[in-house]
Structure formats: C-alpha cells, structure tokens
Chain A
Amino acid sequence: MERINDKILSGERITVDEGLELARAGELHQLGFLADSVKKKLHPEPFITYVIDRNINYTDICISACKFCAFFKAPEDEGGYVLTHEELGRKIEETKELGGTQILLQGGLHPDKPLEFYEEMLRYIKSHDIHIHGFSPPEVCHFAKLSGLPVPEVITRLQKAGLDSIPGGGAEILTDRVRSETAPRKCSADEWLNVMEEAHKQGMRTTATMMFGHIETMEERFEHLDRLRQLQDRTGGFTAFIPWPFQPANSVLNHLPTATAVEYLKMLALSRIFLDNFANIQASWVTQGPKIAQISLYFGANDFGSTMIEENVVAAAGIGFRLSELEIRKLVEGAGYTPRQRTMDYTLVNRA
C-alpha cells in the first residue's frame, strides 16, 4: 500500500490491480488525500467550475427497457411524449435567460423516428444559438441501426446539423456481462466506446460516465475505468468523467439498496486517482445532495457539474435535490474555492 501511495503522489499511473487493492484496503481519508493531491496537481488554480445548462429529454418513449431506469415509457405504454419544436424553443429561451450556455439533449430510443427527425431538431435548436451537448452513444447507435447507416456517417450528419458534443450517458458499466443482464437492448460496451472514438476522430469532444452500485463487481468497475483510460490515451477527446451511484427506486431493480455516501466518495476518489488522463471529474449533487457534493470537492471532484435547470431522469427515481446557481456558488465558496462558470469544453465564462 505504501508503494501505491508513493506512486500516486509522484504522479505515476497505477495499474488495474493496484486500483483494486486501493478499493479493497484503502481508507476513506487515504483515498481522499490521494485524490485531492492528484486533483491539485491537475488544477493548481483555486477554481471549482460548473456549467449552466438544462436537460432536455426530447422523448421518454424507449424500446430499451433497461432494468435500472425509472424514466422511460415503452412504446405501447400510455402517456409517452415527444417534445415539439415550440416546447424545445421555450425551454432553450428560458435556459439562455438564466445565463445558460448549453443544453443537454437526450432521450429514449424511439422506435420509428428517422435520422432526419433528429437533424431537424438540431437545426431548429441551433437557430437559437446555443451549444448542443446531445445524443449519448446508445442513441447514436440506435439512429445508425434504424437508418441503416454506419456510425461514422451518422455522427458526421448530426455534427453537420448542429451537434457540438456528445454526453457520456448510457455507459452504465462497460462490460458485456453487466449490460446483457441489465440493459440487453442497449448498445454493447464496444459499440459505446466506438461511438466515442469516432466522435473524437471527427473533432468532437465528449464526456464519460459510470453508473455503479447495482449488480457489477469492483473488477467490472475497474474494467470500465481501464477501457476509458485506454481510449483517452488514443484520442484525448474526453473532457470529463462523471461517476454516480444507481438510484433503485421505481426501477425493476428496486430491491437493491442505494450505494451509501461513503461508497460514492470512495469511488469518486478512485476514479480521480485511476483516470490520470482525464482533466476533470464532476461531483453528482443530483444523486448525493448539496452536502456530500461539497465534500466531494475533497475527494477528487473539481467540477460541480451542471445547474440542471431541468432534470427528469433521476427525479423519476424519486430523488428530489434542486440547487440554484447561487447555492452552488455558495457551496463552492464554503469549501474555500472560487466558483467559475464554464462551457462544455471547460473554457471559463465571464459574465457581466
């Protein structure tokens, strides 16, 4: 353990086995100290960043039926929705009024909308002049499948229609065992990574996520992190990593317990330590609440994520935390940092 500590403190990369050893025997304070030292080396400036954006979930109709999801409606269910351009426009204008710089555009895997539908949506949103962070890899794969076009071409067309960057959602756990047991109709681990690699090659930045604390093992979590680290070595296209614990309420897996705060902080710290080639790690206040999110800033997080003017997916699992930009700034200041608004690619925003 002493050797692993020294390695991390001297800025050396740790192996999967060393990561697993830290996960097994590392104490909370130790992981905090180590993650904090890695964070401070990458971010010597006293800033904690956040982005002002809004989640827009253009539809909740989804053919994927993942067991951990409380948000979707199956195509045959009643009450599913698809947002109109008018509704989209109103949400975007509200976002801009609040100082928002981007929208996070994601939705269910709709059974029959053609690629042109999404292109039109992008062009419409782009007419409002805002950064579009949209369509996670499962959506991109789904569009490719429905249209019969290869993934690279789908990405090219989406980008041309206005897509600026791709969110890291739908990664869940990037191993095929976990995916086949919880989300068999969602894209495979390889497909997810392939979308990201392709997007990076075409010059788009993306984020990466991990949803942990359901049926996966610690080894599988590290396989996930390792695959992300390898891809990042090849492309450097990821801007940030966002781990959060599975919220079981209202999902098919509601018999599982929710990961505790200590488990969250440890996983956050392990991610910061292991993903040495990721510049930014985000705290998940939506799942952890303001208090633990603030504590996260000592466990490797350098970013408070989004103000989430609207959030529907976690809310569907019965988690009701809401934070205003002002509250986020106060939490950051309370931790001794200067809060700074940023854009998707972590450029700082100067607002009058």
Chain B
Amino acid sequence: MDKMVRESGLGDILDKIRAGERLSTDDGLRLYKSPDLLAVGYLANIVRERLNGDKAYFIYNQHINYSNICTNLCKFCAFGKDKESDQAYEMSIEDVKTKVRERLDEPINEVHVVGGIHPDLPYSYYLEMLTGIKEVRPEIHIQAFTCVEIAHLAEISGQSIEDTLKELMEAGLGSIPGGGAEVFSPRIRELTCEKKLSGEGWLKVAKTAHKLGLNTNATMLYGHIETLEERIEHLDMLRKAQDETGGFLTYIPLAFHPKNTELPDLTRTTGIEDLKNIAVARCFLDNFPHIKAYWVMIGPKMAQVALSFGADDVDGTVKEEIITRMAGGDSDQALSREQLLRMIREAGRQPIERDTLYNVIKAY
C-alpha cells in the first residue's frame, strides 16, 4: 500500500517515517492539508504499530468534577459557571469522599479530578481533597488538577509551583491530566480565554512536574477558531518540552463541542477532522509514547476507527464526566468493559487494561 501513499504526494514523509526520522513543522502542515485521509492514517499507523504494536489501552477510572465555578469563563467552555449562576455547584470534601466510597466495589484504578478556577476555595481544600480520597481508597492513583489549576493553587498558597506540587504529591497527587492546554497560541488565548494561564505558563507547570517525577498528559482543543499553523505550533511546543523532560505520557486531541458555549455558531468537528488530529499528532509527536482517542468526546465509533489512525488508547469506562456532556456531547456516559473489549478486538487490536502509568493490569 506504500504505492498509494506515494501517489498522494506524501512519499517523502513516508520515507522519513519508515526511517524513524523526525517530521518538520512543514511536514506536519502538509499532513493536515492533505486531502488523502487514508494516506495520513496509514502513515500514523506505521508509527503507532512501531511504538505500541497491536496494543490498545483502556483504563477503568472514575471522574470527579468537584466544582464548575470558574473565574476564567473561557468562550469555548460550557462547563464553567460564574459563582452566582444558578447552575453553579461545588462539592464538599465529604461529597468527594462519598463519590469515591460509592464505588469501592468496582475495580477502579484511577480517580480523575478536574474542576474550575474557583474564586475562594482555600488551598487547604485541595490538599484535603487528595488526603480524603486516599483515606477512603488508599491504593488509588489520583490524577488531578490541570496545569491551569496547579498554577492557581500555587498562587493562592503563595508558594512556587515546585513547592506547591511537592505538597500536593505528599497529599496524594499521582499525576496531572492534560487539560487547559487548549491552543497555546497567544492569539487564540486572547480571543477565547484571555484570563487563562498562558501557553508558556502551562508548559512551565508541566515541565516542573516532570522534574519532580510527576507524569502529565497533554491536550489540544481543536475545531474552533484556530488555524492549522497554530495547531502545528502547539504540537511543536509540546514536542520540544517533551525533548527536555520526557515526562508526558499521552497526548489527547480534544474535539470542540459548541453547544452551550459562547461560540455556538461554530459547527461540531467532523469525522475527518477528528481522525486527522489523531493521525497528524501520531506522526509528529514522535517522542510521546501514547496517543489517546477520548471516546467520550468523539464517540465510541470514531474512537474505534482511530485505533487504525494513530491512537493506542481509548480512555476507559468513564462515569460522570460532565464537561463534555454540558457542551452537548452525546456519547453514552459509560461503556461496559465488554463493549470496550469488543470494540477493540473488532478493530484488530489487543485490549490491555492499564493503570495511569501504563502498567499492564490485564492483557485480554
């Protein structure tokens, strides 16, 4: 099938990928612009199989969105609410512990905790949340607080990012999710989320975490007002940071959902955009071990197809993820383990249940 790729004008990129050579930003742009989705997917699949073989990872996790109260109120977000909004909510530490306790009988490996930038919850709240979760479920891995939240916690604690992270780690923080990266370009942040931590600030938190031995993930919110050049610039910044630290585990492209946001006139991403964003990232981010197709965002059908377009991870059995649902995401809220296994096998991959750090819990 190499012939088909050459006919689509991507022969030189094929040669680079076969030789394990790094792609330039121009190469990345050409892949984004190529009308030949199959050729781009084929290239991504070469990288995917070299790095991860036939493995397709998933995790059994629990999502807790502790509060939607947020001072940033980014235009692309349907989740964040002003404190005065009648849709605003916040969980007490006891509420969070109850959520964890309710599911003690399930084989959950990871609690995934993300919230807004809350105007007045004290620093102690976040530390107590971590210790509280550990009290209820001591062995659980806590992946919590995006880089944006971490920067906020450093600010309210009056400490450096490094010292803040050390305290959070002592309280139970196991790793950091990839959210809040959006698109690093200052133009995009100015137009959509001017109050949010800058792209550089985001990368600084991630790199600090990596130096402390804390792994993090990375994301990009695509499909709103960003250009292809801005996407590649974003990926390039991630690739450079990863060259420095090697602390990123997974890159997760996130599809923008316009409903209930301040950008309601934009349309939802199409299937081609979703697959392109996975495939280009897999070709370009040669130093990222994993690429995730987050099925809650793009639907189980697309996530399954993505396993042949560069993705090696589909996230997992997610319950109570409400950030996407608020924006009109219509994926079922949870896939059973059986459904996940079938979906992965039908895609010709081997299902691997993993923990947060990609240790194998069970190979099916």
Residues of A near any B CB (own CB < 8 A): 27-30, 32-33, 36-37, 257, 260-263, 265, 288-295, 298, 330-331, 334-336
Contacts and interface: CB of A to CB of B under 8 A. Distances in A.
Interface in B35-70: 35, 37-38, 41-42, 45
Contacts of A292: 271, 301-302, 305
B38 A36 contact: yes
Interface of B: 1, 4, 35, 37-38, 41-42, 45, 267, 270-275, 298-302, 304-305, 308, 339, 342-343, 346-348
A330 B299 CA distance: 20
Q: Which 5 A-B pairs have the closest CB atoms?
A: A291-B271, A261-B301, A336-B35, A294-B271, A260-B346
B301 A30 contact: no
Nearest to A336: B35
B38 A263 contact: no
B347 A294 contact: no
Nearest to A335: B272
B297 to A, nearest CB: 11
Contacts, number: 81
B226 to A, nearest CB: 16
Given A260-B346, A290-B270, A334-B272, A29 B42 contact: yes
A214 to B, nearest CB: 15
A260 B275 CA distance: 17
A305 to B, nearest CB: 16
B271 to A, nearest CB: 3
B38 A261 contact: no
A291 B308 contact: no
Contacts of B42: 29, 33
A261 B41 contact: no
B341 to A, nearest CB: 11
Contacts of B348: 27-28, 262
A289 B330 CA distance: 11
A289 B37 CA distance: 19
Contact of A291 (B4, B270, B346, B347): B270
Contacts of B302: 261, 291-292, 295
Nearest to B343: A260
A291 B342 CA distance: 20
Contacts of A330: 267, 270
With a 10 A CB-CB cut-off, give which of B42, B272, B300, B347 has the most chain A CB atoms: B272
B299 A334 contact: no
Contacts of A336: 35
Contact of B271 (A32, A33, A260, A290): A290
Contacts of B41: 29, 32
A261 B348 CA distance: 12
